[in-house]
Amino acid sequence: MFNKHDKKRNIYMLDGSFAKKGYDWWWHSFTGKNNRTGEEKQFFIEFFICNPALGGKDPVFGQLPENKEAGIRPSYLMVKAGCWGRDHCQLHRFFGIDGADIHKGAPFSVSADDCFCSEKKLRGSISLTPEEVLSHPEYMCDSGSIQWDLEMKKITAFNVGYGAGSFFRRLKAFEMFWHAEGMKTLYSGTVKFGDDEYTVTPEGSFGYADKNWGRDFTSPWIWLASSSMRSRITGKTLNNSVFDIGGGRPKIGALALENKLLGAFYYEGAELEYNFTKFWTMPKTKFRCRETEDEIIWQILQSNTKNAMLTEIRCRKEDMLLVNYEAPDGSKRHNRLWNGGNGKGRVRIFSHTDRGYKLIDDIDVTRIGCEYGEYDE
C-alpha cells in the first residue's frame, strides 16, 4: 500500500556521488484566495539544492557563458516561487551553499536568510526588478515580488519506494527519484503577490507536497495531481480523495525504461496503485501527451491485476509557464517544460471482473497540478 508516511524518505539526499553531481528539491503547491477580489489563485514554492560539494559562499551558475566554457557546474540553494494563471510567473532567489542551513536528518529543514522550509512550515520572500532579470539571464526567471508565511499538514502520502524501489534508491540507480510525503496537504497562512494579499485555508488550499532528487531529469517529464474532485455518478464532492501521476522514461544507468509512469489514486479510503517497481501487481501503462496551439493534453491509461484508471486532462497554455531548471552537469535540456496548476479533466476508475472492466466512478477534477516536457537527446 502506498499511503505510508516516512519522513526519512523526505530528507536531504545529496550524499555520495549525488553531492558533486546531484539535485534535491522540495515542491509545494496550493490555492489561495485574494483578500480584495475573492478570486482564487494557484501558487507554488520550491527549495532546490544543486551540487552542494562544489559550492561555497556565493551561488555558482551553470548558465553563465564563462562557466560553460570552463566546465564549471552549478552549485546553490535556489528558492523558487510563483503562480499560475494569465499573470503566471516564476521567481528565483539564489544562495551559496555556505549560506544555507540544512538539517539533513528527519525531519528535514532548509533555511537561508528569511527563507525556511520544513515538514510543517514555509516562510520566505523573493523580489526581482525587471532590470535585475535583464542583467542576469542566468537567473532563468521573471521579475516581480512574492512573500509567504504558511503552515502545512501532510494528510496522504504516495510512498513509491516500497518493494524494489527501495533497493534502487539505496544504490542511487535511477537518474531521478520521487517521494510524495503529502500528495494531499492542508496549507494555512498568507501569501503576498505583488500588491495583492491572499489567504490560504486548509479546506480551500487543495494542497500538494513532494520531492525529487537525482543526477538528471526525465524526458518525457509528466506530472499530474489534484485533490479537487466531484463524482459525476453521485454528484458528491470527494473530500477524502487525491490522485498523483509522475514519471515518463526513467533511466537505470544507460538503460531507459519506456512508458513507465507511477500512479496512485486514494479514493475515499481505498488505494489504487500503478507502480512499475511492484512487478507482482502486473502494472501496465499507456500514455499520450501532446501540445496543441492553445493547450497541453494528457491521456493516460494505467492498470494492475485488480483495477484500472483512465485519466484525461487538459490545461490552457495561457495559464501555464515554461519552468526552468539547469541539470547538475550544467546543461539546460528542458526548454519547453510546461508547468501549470489550473488543469481540468476527468478520471475514471474501474475494477476487473470476469466480463471485463466495471466502472467504479467517473470523476470531474479541477485545480490540477500538471507538467509535460521533452527534449531531444
The pLDDT of residue 166: 55
d(CA 303, CA 301): 7
Flag whether 1 is in a domain: no
- Statement: the pTM of the whole predicted model exceeds 0.85: yes
Indicate the number of domains in the chain: 1
Q: Does the residue 364 lie in any domain?
A: yes
Task: Establish if 77 belongs to a structural domain.
Answer: yes
DSSP string computed for 201-230: -HHHH-EEEEEEEESS--SSEEEEEE-EEE
Residue 165 falls within a domain, yes or no? yes
Does a structural domain hold residue 330? yes
Pair 164, 198: CB distance under 8 Å? no
C-alpha dist (Å) from residue 163 to 221, 247, 275, 279, 322: 23, 18, 10, 9, 34
DSSP H or E segment with residue 147: strand 144-158
3-state secondary structure of 319: helix
Determine, yes or no, domain membership for 46: yes
φ/ψ of residue 199, rounded to 5: -105, 135
Q: Note the pLDDT of residue 134.
A: 98
Q: Is there a domain that residue 241 lies in?
A: yes
Q: Which residues contact 127 (CB under 8 A, 6 or more apart)?
A: 91, 144, 145, 146
- The pLDDT tens digits along the chain (377 residues) read 899 999 999 999 999 999 999 999 999 999 999 999 999 999 999 999 999 999 999 999 999 999 999 999 999 999 999 999 989 999 999 999 999 999 999 999 999 999 999 999 999 999 999 999 999 999 999 999 999 999 999 999 999 875 444 555 555 667 899 999 999 999 999 999 999 999 999 999 999 999 999 999 999 999 999 999 999 999 999 999 999 999 988 777 667 777 789 999 999 999 999 998 888 999 999 999 999 999 999 999 999 999 999 999 999 999 999 999 999 999 999 999 999 999 999 999 999 988 888 999 999 999 999 999 998 76
Q: How much is the pLDDT for 164?
A: 43
Domain of 165: which CATH number?
Answer: 2.40.370.10
Scanning the chain, the segments in alpha helix (DSSP H) are 65-70, 130-135, 164-171, 202-205
Domain membership flag for residue 2: no
Residues of the domain holding 216: 7-373
